[in-house]
Chain A
């Protein structure tokens, strides 16, 4: 069954802790993206990667880090430097000029 998976679906974190959100795809798409969505707001781009071992900062990269060691995987780490990390995080791939989104991870900082 092809698609994009994100785990976990819900994540709770204490202030000061780093946390890693998983994004895996078996669509064989080269490009992958991370967005955050806040209530009532649109999408904001955090990081993107067009090929393995390469990634670029998006509009709101501060407090986040990523890696792209495999084509299938693009994990996002939310560090303690991110001042307001509570949000809905979406991973996406790009193929033929169309972006396809995963189911999302809802992160809540306690």
Chain B
């Protein structure tokens, strides 16, 4: 699986959009971009994933550049409960097969009142 690079930490004002970048310049054509977050002392929470098109769900939007070498996770209206470590991972989808999730260091997002 391709390696990802994320900023170590970011701050965001409550109510504003949080834009979390991720670089994955060695991504392969069959690799998806996944985002998870982990609030302190809780299990990781799946947020969203995509292959090449932009995706949106009730939690966030995922914008993937046309060359797929980077992406941005957008939380449209950050709240204090969004304070967490956000992990961007890139992995091949192996339908029905064994899969292992490996997190890097992630971005610690602090939402400020």
Which A residues have a C-beta under 8 Å from some C-beta of B? 4, 6, 31, 33, 35, 42-43, 45, 48, 50, 56, 58-59, 88, 90, 92, 94, 96-104, 106
Contact = CB atoms under 8 A, between A and B. Distances in A.
A94 B93 CA distance: 11
B99 A99 contact: yes
B98 A43 contact: no
B43 A103 contact: yes
B104 interface: yes
Interface size class of B (residues with CB under 8 A): 20 to 34
Contacts of B101: 33, 35, 43, 92, 99
B42 to A, nearest CB: 6
Given A90-B44, A103-B43, A106-B41, A97 B99 contact: yes
Contacts of B46: 98-101
Interface string B23-43: 000000000101010000111
A66 B28 CA distance: 34
Chain B at the A interface: mostly helix, strand, loop or mixed? loop
A101 B47 CA distance: 12
A99 B49 CA distance: 11
Interface of B: 32, 34, 36, 41-46, 49, 93-95, 98-105
A43 B43 CA distance: 11
Q: What DSSP secondary structure best describes chain A's contact surface?
A: strand
A97 B95 contact: yes
Pairs of residues from A and B, 4 with the lowest C-beta to C-beta distance, nearest first: A101-B43, A97-B93, A42-B103, A104-B43
A31 B95 CA distance: 12
B100 to A, nearest CB: 5
A44 B56 CA distance: 30
A102 B98 CA distance: 19
B45 A43 contact: no
Contacts of A59: 100
Given A90-B43, A90-B44, A106-B41, A98 B49 contact: yes
